[in-house]
Amino acid sequence: MKLSAAYRLAATILHGFDEYRTRFRAITRDASRRFRDAAWREAQQASAARINLYDDKVAATLGRLRRTFQAEVLTHCECWREAKAHYADLIDQRLDYELAETFFNSLFCSVFHHRHIRDDWMFVYSSRDSAPRHSGICLTRTRRVEGDWVGALHWALGEARLETPFDDLERDSRLGADFLTGHLPAALRDAADTEMELLESVFYRNKGAYLVGRLRGGGEQLPLALPILHGEGYGEEAGASEGLHLDTVLIEPEEVSIIFSFTRAYFQVDTQVPGECVDFLQELMPDKPEGELYSAIGFYKHGKTEFFRGLNRQVARREDKFVIAPGVRGMVMAVFVLPSYRTVFKIIKDRFDPAKEVTHQAVRDKYQLVKCHDRVGRMADTQEFSNFIARRDHFDSECLDHLLEVAPSTVSLRDDKVIIKHCYVERMMTPLNLYLERCDAAETRAVLNDYGNAIKQLAAANIFPGDMLLKNFGVTRHGRVVFYDYDEICYLTECHFRHLPRAHVSGQGLSAEPWFSVGPDDIFPEEFGPFMIANPDLRALFTELHPELFDPDYWRGLQRAIRAGKVIDVTPYRDKQRFVEAAAPTH
């Protein structure tokens, strides 16, 4: 019997999805080998390759569709309606059906250039929205504690699916148990029914492997994350060990949430049922959006799907309207927000302010660079949308007028609809300059210190922010400083850091214009102060906290380390929480 064009269309898309998932799982599964071999550069390359994989497979599948089907079939919406029904049947028993739906959507949007977004023809809503997700597969392992916290930690670490032995499993079990007995609520610590439950899958990222789960008992529950690192000893033997060690124990919900933050690279974690893994993680972090958790485990395209669905639901509630983002308006981007959804939308302006010498394509390239780079907890992840459509009455009039004025090639009106051809979406943060306006002395010192740490960690990850003004950094709900303005970002190794030349002639140094030659990549850290922070008191405090940032030799030293192949280790928790720090001798 001859198969219909719609069925063949659905089957071709599913074949492309299977190719994507096969390669995705291969890259992900190899993370354990990369961790075993401490192949950190290779891990970075694998992370970028996995991010690029999705678009590569969509493009390959689109090419296959165009070679297989005539244009009038491929662009016939009714054919897609039938194909969607066939596709839903084909993926009905799959454990990753929601990812398959998103892949179908990506092909539909590629054919129709992100137009005709209707549930009739694509999965605007999931085909199984009302169906509970119960595969019957157990994703976790569990042990009753029964007061033996050393034994519980020994079990957690010793039976983890790791290919490298621990340097001293007894020591790490004792350190972990001491932490838990000293920090857990008594009701949970001492309850007869207390148990430790961990996901079987190991979460790999950068130089770390994480065991993730929870502690339950006495009517209470806390998340549990066990970060495991390579090759650091304790005390006088620091740096001599080649085995693994438990770096710390994290049980505070906010600390575990930071591990899964939108400011960090995606985990490499092989899980049989992605949706149920996300459900488990959301039980640990109920305030974290579902889409953000999908992104955290590598499925950023489906994270975008879940974000879009959540945004549609929020807009439909009509609790508020899109308004211009608070703070100083950008020279390159027009920024607006939906306050109730804590979401920031960024649109590239048609014309940039004279001080900005970049192109539209250059800005888009910068955002893609950040997407593929290790964000070390200091750069916000973004989602990219094309032909975003909302009702006109969902916009504040001042906001809409501003967008139409500064980006008329991107923002247009059609009847009662606002059509935005291209925009970036980020989680909302408080601009650092506004945050500082309401800080007391202690908060000011803490956030300026973290501002400097953010710049240092970005630099150590081979990122130079370029424009380091306070307004280009935000403060998360956890109080961390994050960079979010990417139009001048570049690799640190591309920069030429120089000392300011000494004046040889009287009055030379007072000239308003440089009296010495300056190349396009030349940077003078000694001039950073007034440029970064206009307030002299804040500038003096920042200089006290981070004097090295004004020294060209500091930046050159980082460049040498990066060129020598050093991959930094930026942990998503404070150094003072690390057991290696606690065990080190004092001098």
* Annotation: binding site for ATP: 325-331, 346
Residue 19 to residue 17: CA distance in whole angstroms: 5
Q: Residues 278, 293: contact at Cβ < 8 Å?
A: yes
Residue 556 to residue 337: CA distance in whole angstroms: 39
**Would you give the DSSP letter of residue 300?**
H
- Concatenating the DSSP letter of every residue in 94-160 gives -TTHHHHHHHHHHHHHHHHTT----TTTS-SS-TTTTS----S---EEEEE-TT-HHHHHHHHHHTS
Residue 150 to residue 156: CA distance in whole angstroms: 10
* Residues with Cβ within 8 Å of residue 199, at least 6 apart in sequence: 139, 140, 211, 212, 213, 271, 277, 280
Q: What are phi and psi of 332, to 5 degrees?
A: -115, -40
Tell me which residue of 315, 316, 269, 308 sits closest to 291, measured CA to CA. Answer: 308
Q: Residues 529, 463: contact at Cβ < 8 Å?
A: no
Neighbours of 381 (CB within 10 A): 22
Tell me which residue of 438, 432, 500 sits closest to 468, measured CA to CA. Answer: 432
Give CA separation, 373 vs 90, 260, 487, in Å.
35, 16, 15
- End-to-end Cα, the chain, rounded Å: 82
Helix (H, G, I), strand (E, B) or coil at 324: strand
Residue 473 to residue 548: CA distance in whole angstroms: 20
Beta bridge mates, 412: 419
Rg (CA), the chain: 26
> Is residue 119 annotated as part of the catalytic site, yes or no?
no
Neighbours of 233 (CB within 10 A): 18
**From 96, 247, 374, 381, active-site residue:** 381
Output the known binding site: 325-331, 346
Helix (H, G, I), strand (E, B) or coil at 218: coil
How many helical (H) and strand (E) elements, i.e. helices and strands, does the chain have?
21, 19
Length of the chain: 587
The vertex-181 CA angle with 179 and 183, nearest 5°, equals 65
Q: What are phi and psi of 520, to 5 degrees?
A: -65, -25
Q: Which residues are catalytic?
A: 381
